[in-house]
Structure 1
Amino acid sequence: MEQNLFVYNTLTRKKEEFKPINPPHVGMYVCGPTVYSNAHLGNSRTYISFDLIFRYLTHLGYKVRYVRNITDAGHLEGDAGDEGEDKIEKKAKLAQVEPMEIVQKYTVDFRDVMRTLNILPPSIEPTATGHIIEQIELVKLILQNGYAYEVNGSIYFDVEKYNKTQDYGILNGRKLEDLINNTRDLGGQDEKRGKLDFALWIKAKPEHLMKWPSPWSVGFPGWHLECSAMSNKYLGKQFDIHGGGIDLMPTHHTNEIAQSMAACHTNPARYWVHTNMLTINGQKMSKSLGNSILPHELFSGDNSILSKGYSPMTVRFFMLQAHYRSTLDISNDAMEASEKGFKRLMNSFALLDSLVASSNGEVEIAPLIQRCYDAMNDDFNSPVLIAELFEASRIINSVKDGKLKIDTQNLALLKQLMNTFVLDVLGLKDEQAANDDLPNVLNMIVGIRNEAKTNKDYATSDKIRNGLQDIGFQLKDGKDGTTWSKI
């Protein structure tokens, strides 16, 4: 069935029909992590959201080239990302190791977290240090077009000159005067002509570890430059979707647009897509407030904020229960509700293969399938999709209990719906099913209980039933024998 997908575009501040530049091909660039510390939950929320988008576009038949970079140089500590000390170098000096040891350690950690959350790898995962030549060439082009200037071996982008012909604040909706008035003086400001000017290439101090030769100095590229250079290399001057967290929109993505316009005379992306913030118990998550939780601490329960640990798929389900553009708050109540909801959905999913079709049915699945597509076509509305999947879950349970009849055709559609949207689109998986021996063990225990019942040993029979219930498994005695399911 043909689907008309609508996507909220930060650039225009409205939902627009998704029309790729070169269908069926789709180019998507998402800003990746700066690998100087462990992947945090904010990262996880962003990449789960874009994994959902990647999966759904692929499901619709698009051939998606998904590029997500690794920032392994040039991301400085200042608000704009081009002032202060390099984040990776600072960590390397503290640990007395090579910067690339820090890069390797935290890149491995990031990929482990992504894999644990069942986030598909991107098509290409380029690094900043692997694309120094491309970044130098981009700086040359911006200089040639008159939108940058050199001071003492460093190259700065001239924002005020650029704003005379283009709208610098087109993405963040701010006027240049307001941005200038709200910008505090930063170190190195004396080299810049204007307060908002940002570094394209920075001359390295003698003690700086990560540096490369360029026509202007031995130095390193600015943080904003890498994404422009790599998206251009792998997706072209203009591509379909550029994404990242909402925190990147005011400066990093604003500067990316300026760089691309100055070099290539075009906005790099047709659709700018941003995920919203993650909070914990109503507060912004930060190390200074002491309320920051790393993914592995959330999985294990080894933290002082939540009462217990939650499985990776529960965390993924929790994040997908909120729309990617809404703020999401982590709390004990919210996580426990998601854990119950996830178990309920996967329990019904596990019953699919045991359902028996009737010659005449009472339920039509096609309208439910269309509502699932309608939800995803409305700016990837995963919470509405999940609500529809709970309706599918109710139908499965009713058919299993004999309260509802379903014919062969609709049973096939029901299985297709659950496989498509639970597994392929939402990217959920039954964590319990990973233990292949579990069904055999439970079936053996059920057999022992049946023997006890046959021998009228009801005390043992009840002990087995209650014991299984205590560890999360429910037994149902029916005319066709005893079945078990997760609670």
Structure 2
Amino acid sequence: MPLYETQTLKIYNSLSGEKEIFIPIHKGNVGMYVCGPTVYSNVHLGNVRTFMSFDVIFRYFLHLDYKVRYVRNITDVGHIVDDVDEGEDKIARKARLEQLEPMEVVQRYTVDFHEILKAFNFLPPSIEPTATGHIIEQIEIIKTIIDNGIGYEANGSVYFDVVKFNKTNHYGVLSGRNIEDMLANTRNLDGQTDKRNPQDFALWKKAEAQHIMRWPSPWSDGFPGWHLECTAMSTKYLGNHFDIHGGGMDLKFPHHECEIAQNEACTGQTPVNYWLHANMLTLNSKKMAKSTGNNILPREILTGENTILSKAFSASVARFFMLQAHYRSILDFSDDAIVAAEKGYKRLMEAVSVLNDIESSEKSSIAIGKWKQLCYDAMNDDFNTPILIAQLFEGVKFINLLIDGKETLNAIDLELFKKAMNAFIYDVLGLENEKVSGSNDDKLEGTVNMLIDMRKQARENKNFALSDQIRDQLVSLGIQLKDGKEGTTFSL
């Protein structure tokens, strides 16, 4: 029997604003589309957090024995700066600034995207389509929308008539917006636009003479609208009606709202049953921004080459840190927070490493089946990774009690416990045990931690001369101590 038959999964649906029991369109199968990156710069940490959320969701569906088709696109056409219909294409702008062909920009940052996600142990999606590879499909959708009376051509560009669409449908159903309010709060820019209404959005834009990325169409040499790309790629590989569409919270409006409108105008049916949105990540309680210097790239976490963190951290530590918050919660990234996460990660990994050496007894004193179901209950409650991690630390307590001989497990329960701990840590959360027993790094860390403990003891005994001597000699060796609320840490 597949695991999904024994578990009731509830998902928070942005469309209804409620947690709903997940019922796939086709039993045993899941179709999931997630908006991928626009590859004009290095992938930023907020993107990594969003894609990590859906990586865990993908992993959990696989763990439940679903057959999953996970589609995550690459936007390589580029869309307009600030995601509006006027302005300069992001990829084209980067190409102009760096004096490169646009596809050189695309290739460079697509490679960076894949390298970062591999470093953070992401599973690759089932299909990773590109916007440039689906221009024909996008043109065909535009033709259908025009034929259905919702799209109109103006000076070589094609726009979606939001007001006309809203007469029979609800534009704003996902974000809870009202078209009348949107129109009332928008200034009318007479003579500055080909749009019939300020809220109309581009399906196809006529390329200006200097615009490099362009394709022939029935209306002009031009390029597709940003929203249209995802509609074309999601429906091609998942059908006009599929299970899950995900992305960052910032995409809910206008991007996902426009996707719904395009699908309904084209096919006459709502495209998605469950809309999932991951929340944002802040840095030191402020919005991340290159302009203010309050910014860190994922690769800089791994190398330690930044001014934000006290040292380098492994990808699994950063992953563990991010999964300590629910994907719909705002997560604040800081040095103190990831230092604390590293300690928790190491405690978890040390415990699971010694679990394999524990021997069984004749009878069990712990209800492992009940604990295991609590782990499932956490994930079944809208993929609640922080609660799952809390349950895994209950497992760590069990391991310590087993080691001390204060609790026992029979052979069947011990094997069940081992499999569950490993499955949730490695398969579902996607963590990796980066500790290599006996390595030089481990020996160095053990030695420094022993000296930190000696220094702590000296300070408690008011032997400040010895305390300062330990600190100063470590500094002379290039090892910097940092005293904090959670204790003392070190960096090389």
TM (normalized to structure 1)?
A: 0.89
Alpha-carbon distance in structure 1 between the residues aligned to 2:446 and 2:315: 29
How far 1:309 sits from its partner (Å)?
2.2
Residue by residue over 1:309-343, the C-alpha shift from the partner in whole angstroms, topping out at 9 and shown as x without a partner, is 22110111111100000000011221111111111
How far 1:397 sits from its partner (Å)?
1.8
Could you tell me which residue of structure 1 aligns to residue 427 of structure 2? Answer: 424
Residue by residue over 1:223-248, the C-alpha shift from the partner in whole angstroms, topping out at 9 and shown as x without a partner, is 00000001110000010000000000
Could you tell me which residue of structure 2 aligns to residue 314 of structure 1? Answer: 317
Could you tell me which residue of structure 2 aligns to residue 194 of structure 1? Answer: 197
1:246 aligns with 2:249: yes
Could you tell me which residue of structure 1 aligns to residue 33 of structure 2? Answer: 29
Could you tell me which residue of structure 2 aligns to residue 135 of structure 1? Answer: 138
Partner AA of 1:206 in structure 2 = A
How far 1:364 sits from its partner (Å)?
1.7
Could you tell me which residue of structure 1 aligns to residue 279 of structure 2? Answer: 276
Could you tell me which residue of structure 2 aligns to residue 147 of structure 1? Answer: 150
Alpha-carbon distance in structure 1 between the residues aligned to 2:190 and 2:33: 31
Residue by residue over 1:47-106, the C-alpha shift from the partner in whole angstroms, topping out at 9 and shown as x without a partner, is 1100010000111111100000000014110343x3211100100011111100000000
How far 1:442 sits from its partner (Å)?
10
CA contact (8 A) 1:83 1:186 kept: no
Find the residue that maps to 2:12 and give its secondary structure: strand
Alpha-carbon distance in structure 2 between the residues aligned to 1:188 and 1:116: 50
Residue 351 of structure 1, aligned match among 337, 348, 354: 354
Residue 208 of structure 1, aligned match among 188, 206, 211: 211
Residue 171 of structure 2, aligned match among 132, 143, 168: 168
1:330 aligns with 2:333: yes
Aligned pairs for 1:291-310 (under 5 A) are 291-310=294-313
Alpha-carbon distance in structure 2 between the residues aligned to 1:430 and 1:269: 37
Across the two proteins, how many residue pairs are aligned to each other? 450
Could you tell me which residue of structure 2 aligns to residue 396 of structure 1? Answer: 399
How far 1:419 sits from its partner (Å)?
1.2
Alpha-carbon distance in structure 2 between the residues aligned to 1:185 and 1:89: 29
Distance verdict in 2 for CA 1:425–1:264, change over 3 Å: same
Alpha-carbon distance in structure 2 between the residues aligned to 1:470 and 1:186: 69
Residue by residue over 1:413-453, the C-alpha shift from the partner in whole angstroms, topping out at 9 and shown as x without a partner, is 110111110011001011124xxxx448799x9xxxxxxxx
Alpha-carbon distance in structure 2 between the residues aligned to 1:392 and 1:186: 62
Could you tell me which residue of structure 2 aligns to residue 111 of structure 1? Answer: 114
Alpha-carbon distance in structure 2 between the residues aligned to 1:232 and 1:466: 57
Residue 408 of structure 2, aligned match among 405, 408, 429: 405
Alpha-carbon distance in structure 1 between the residues aligned to 2:252 and 2:353: 42
Residue 19 of structure 1, aligned match among 23, 33, 51: 23
How far 1:361 sits from its partner (Å)?
2.6
1:339 aligns with 2:345: no
Stretches of structure 1 lacking an aligned partner (at least 5 in a row): 446-462, 473-487
Find the residue that maps to 1:288 and give its secondary structure: helix
Could you tell me which residue of structure 2 aligns to residue 57 of structure 1? Answer: 61
Find the residue that maps to 1:419 and give its secondary structure: helix
Alpha-carbon distance in structure 1 between the residues aligned to 2:449 and 2:341: 22
How far 1:188 sits from its partner (Å)?
8.8
Residue by residue over 1:186-212, the C-alpha shift from the partner in whole angstroms, topping out at 9 and shown as x without a partner, is 899521110110000001111110100
Partner AA of 2:51 in structure 1 = Y
Aligned pairs for 1:47-86 (under 5 A) are 47-80=51-84, 82-86=85-89
Find the residue that maps to 2:244 and give its secondary structure: strand
Identity %: 58
Distance verdict in 2 for CA 1:261–1:331, change over 3 Å: same
Residue by residue over 1:362-383, the C-alpha shift from the partner in whole angstroms, topping out at 9 and shown as x without a partner, is 1121000000000000000000
CA contact (8 A) 1:52 1:427 kept: yes
Could you tell me which residue of structure 2 aligns to residue 5 of structure 1? Answer: 9
Find the residue that maps to 2:290 and give its secondary structure: coil
Q: Which moved more, 1:375-384 or 1:361-370?
A: 361-370
Alpha-carbon distance in structure 1 between the residues aligned to 2:188 and 2:43: 31
Distance verdict in 2 for CA 1:79–1:181, change over 3 Å: farther
CA contact (8 A) 2:39 2:78 kept: no
Find the residue that maps to 1:16 and give its secondary structure: strand
CA contact (8 A) 1:154 1:202 kept: yes
Partner AA of 1:399 in structure 2 = L
What RMSD, in angstroms, separates the aligned Cα atoms of the two structures?
A: 2.2
Partner AA of 2:397 in structure 1 = R
Partner AA of 2:10 in structure 1 = F
CA contact (8 A) 2:12 2:276 kept: yes
Alpha-carbon distance in structure 2 between the residues aligned to 1:306 and 1:188: 51
Q: Which moved more, 1:172-181 or 1:387-396?
A: 172-181
CA contact (8 A) 2:349 2:433 kept: yes
Partner AA of 1:37 in structure 2 = S
Partner AA of 1:194 in structure 2 = N
Partner AA of 2:113 in structure 1 = F
Distance verdict in 2 for CA 1:227–1:85, change over 3 Å: same
Partner AA of 2:41 in structure 1 = S
Partner AA of 2:27 in structure 1 = P
Could you tell me which residue of structure 1 aligns to residue 43 of structure 2? Answer: 39
Residue by residue over 1:274-327, the C-alpha shift from the partner in whole angstroms, topping out at 9 and shown as x without a partner, is 000101111111222221111011222222222222211011111110000000
Alpha-carbon distance in structure 1 between the residues aligned to 2:168 and 2:8: 35
Distance verdict in 2 for CA 1:465–1:171, change over 3 Å: closer
Alpha-carbon distance in structure 1 between the residues aligned to 2:133 and 2:435: 40
Distance verdict in 2 for CA 1:173–1:405, change over 3 Å: same
Find the residue that maps to 2:213 and give its secondary structure: coil
Aligned pairs for 1:226-265 (under 5 A) are 226-265=229-268
CA contact (8 A) 2:38 2:78 kept: no
Stretches of structure 2 lacking an aligned partner (at least 5 in a row): 454-492
Alpha-carbon distance in structure 1 between the residues aligned to 2:191 and 2:317: 46
Find the residue that maps to 1:191 and give its secondary structure: coil
Alpha-carbon distance in structure 1 between the residues aligned to 2:184 and 2:210: 34
CA contact (8 A) 2:40 2:78 kept: no
How far 1:464 sits from its partner (Å)?
12
Partner AA of 1:392 in structure 2 = G
Distance verdict in 2 for CA 1:162–1:392, change over 3 Å: same
TM (normalized to structure 2)?
A: 0.88
